[in-house]
Amino acid sequence: MRRWGEPRIHVTDWDETDGRGVPAVFVHNIFTWGGDDLYGFAAQRPLADRHRLLLVDRRGYGRSPDTARGDFETDADDVVGLLGEPRSGPDGHQGPAHLVGHGNGGVIAMLAAARRPDLVRSLTLIQPSAFTAAAEHPTVAAMLERVAGTAPGHLPESVTAAEFLRASTEGIGLPMPEPTARRLRAVATSMRERPIWEANVPLEPLRSAPWPTLIVCGTWEDAPTLYRTHVGEPLMACAEVLTDALGARLLRVPGFYPHTQHPDAVNAALRQHWGIR
């Protein structure tokens, strides 16, 4: 584990290659942190046998410093800085990294990749919440209309992190995770984040980039009805729109948290994807 940048965000470094593996940077979603085994990327650790995995804790999450309000633009700056960090690749020279993002982290990965495509070797988006890029899709348009004015960042100060976690899980038919101090801190940061549907992701730099893009999406057939309706259907619509817009490859995986519920399938897809470049 190490810290990078200013302020010094935390980055978990999993590497079984003695520094010879091509790096892969992972950017997490809300309510979690890089190495979290519930919503994060703990299940991707086997990939460290051939790659150097760099798991970002975004500001206010995991072991990174607090932030007054999370912002995808600032997080994208942090990711660009990490991608550009001096390092030695397998050939002894600095090279680009594979980039993986989940949910809001997928949007952050897109922003970072669009700013510095030269620092990216491949892009993988796991259910990216890039709603503005798919705003003309009827399902996404209905979701955006429904959440207008009720987004995180606009919540009453009286709402606690524990209450928000319960409403966001049990309230839509999911089990509530253990409200540990680290989990509640992540939830509190998520409550204050700038709404992800304010992100304006430039698609052209991603569409014209020389590296491949993989989009991973769950099928959501076994998700609780409310969760599928309010979250799953907009995310599936985003995945389909982005696949067409970016000329990406779409992988559909059973369930609604592909990389944690079916890590073998996702990890195999990542190995194949990373093997292209």
Neighbours of 30 (CB within 10 A): 22
Residue 117 has pLDDT above 60, yes or no: yes
pLDDT for 150 equals 64
Residue 147 has pLDDT above 90, yes or no: no
Tell me whether residue 6 is in a domain: no
Cis peptide before 7, with omega less than 30 degrees from 0? yes
What does the alpha-carbon distance between residue 18 and residue 20 come to, in Å, rounded to a whole number? 6
The average confidence (pLDDT) of the chain is: 92
What does the alpha-carbon distance between residue 81 and residue 211 come to, in Å, rounded to a whole number? 19
Look at the chain and report how many structural domains it folds into.
1
Neighbours of 156 (CB within 10 A): 5
Using pLDDT thresholds of 50, 70 and 90, give the confidence band for residue 95.
confident
b (16+ CB within 10 A) / e for 62-90:
bbbeebeebbbeebbbbbbbbbebeeebe
Tell me whether residue 88 is in a domain: yes
Strand partners, 132: none
User: 7-20 pLDDT, tens per residue?
Assistant: 679 999 999 999 89
Tell me whether residue 264 is in a domain: yes
Domain limits for position 216: 11-275
User: 231-244 pLDDT, tens per residue?
Assistant: 999 999 999 999 99
Contact at 8 Å (CB) between 24 and 54? Answer: yes
pLDDT for 146 equals 87
Using pLDDT thresholds of 50, 70 and 90, give the confidence band for residue 156.
confident
Tell me whether residue 42 is in a domain: yes
CATH of the domain at 81: 3.40.50.1820
Tell me whether residue 5 is in a domain: no
Tell me whether residue 141 is in a domain: yes
Tell me whether residue 110 is in a domain: yes
Tell me whether residue 245 is in a domain: yes
- Sign, Cα dihedral of 259, 127, 232, 251: negative
